[in-house]
């Protein structure tokens, strides 16, 4: 009995350690397996980000006031770093994934130079002032000023945030019938984002698009800027004129096969490339690029 008691006493610590080490494995719920079916965040609109946060991840976005904070919140939600980010069952099932995939394919096709057309007729969306008002009101003042600046609208005398929002709404409503994204105004040059360019090349436009792919550090690009503005003023409502920063949106520079800066590309109303020219051009040269497609 003495030997048995000694054995049990000596074995007790080992049993205790084994019990402490034997913790059942509980797999952590993750959205990793679903990420492939989710839309690329960089291509999503503010409302799409808010909808996914609410409907898919059960995460609030009430404290996010610009796209940067919304994007970070969605990335954290997809990574499982935000409370309540467990995937909720989608009421539409696989159909949602199909719609998101179709949306991505649509963006890719509009950014490419192929002439492949999408099935079905496209209809222009009427400008929803109330919806856009709510979206702009949730943005930071700095973002609103940047958008106004891109439209060549002076905001220095606009003290209240509401003044900035109203000025943007008026400009966007005025150009709604001219620009697919609402970012372009007749007679002016707009500095586009990648998302806005995708919209402009979606094939819904009645006018051609003259696009300048540039870089801030590019001397010839800066030299051509006033000539591009003069060309936009001359073309007026007959042609959309825009530019895009190749450093900020390098993916687009690759998709458009830009080999030198500046590169000026003309697209028809269906989003197909019809002409291009590398190197700085004067106003008349810029107008000539699209003159056959007006």
| Active-site residue set | 218, 221
Rounded Cα distance, 235 and 83, in Å: 53
Is residue 157 within 8 Å of 148, Cβ to Cβ? no
Measured distance CA(255)–CA(35) in Å, rounded: 23
Listed residue (222, 175, 227) closest to 196, CA to CA:
175
Cβ pair 231, 210 in contact under 8 A: yes
The span from the CA of 266 to the CA of 239, in Å, is: 10
Of 246, 236, 294, the C-alpha closest to 266 is 294
- Which string of DSSP letters, residue by residue, matches 162-182? HHHHHHHHHHHHHTTTT-SSS
Distance CA 3, CA 5 (A): 5
């Amino acid at each position: 009995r003495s030997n048995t008691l000694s054995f049990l006493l000596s074995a007790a610590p080992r049993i205790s350690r084994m019990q402490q080490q034997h913790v059942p494995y509980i797999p952590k719920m993750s959205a990793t397996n679903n990420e492939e079916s989710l839309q690329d965040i960089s291509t999503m609109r503010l409302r799409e980000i808010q909808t996914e946060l609410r409907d898919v991840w059960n995460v609030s976005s009430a404290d996010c006031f610009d796209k940067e904070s919304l994007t970070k919140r969605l990335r954290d939600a997809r990574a499982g770093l935000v409370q309540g980010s467990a995937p909720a069952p989608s009421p539409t099932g696989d159909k949602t994934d199909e719609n998101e995939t179709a949306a991505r394919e649509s963006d890719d096709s509009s950014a490419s130079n192929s002439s492949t057309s999408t099935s079905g007729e496209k209809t222009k969306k009427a400008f929803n002032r109330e919806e856009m008002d709510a979206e702009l009101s949730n943005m930071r003042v700095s973002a609103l000023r940047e958008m106004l600046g891109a439209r060549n609208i002076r905001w220095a005398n606009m003290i209240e945030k509401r003044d900035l929002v109203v000025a943007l709404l008026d400009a966007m409503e005025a150009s709604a019938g001219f620009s697919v994204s609402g970012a372009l105004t007749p007679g002016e040059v707009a500095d586009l984002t990648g998302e806005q360019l995708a919209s402009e090349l979606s094939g819904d436009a009645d006018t051609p698009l003259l696009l300048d792919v540039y870089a801030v550090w590019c001397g010839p690009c800066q030299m051509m800027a006033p000539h591009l503005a003069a060309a936009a003023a001359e073309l007026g409502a007959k042609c959309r004129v825009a530019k895009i920063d190749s450093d900020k949106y390098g993916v687009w520079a690759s998709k458009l096969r830009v080999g030198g800066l500046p590169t000026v590309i003309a697209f028809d109303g269906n989003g197909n490339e019809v002409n291009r020219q590398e190197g700085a051009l004067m106003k008349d040269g810029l107008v000539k690029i699209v003159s056959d497609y007006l």
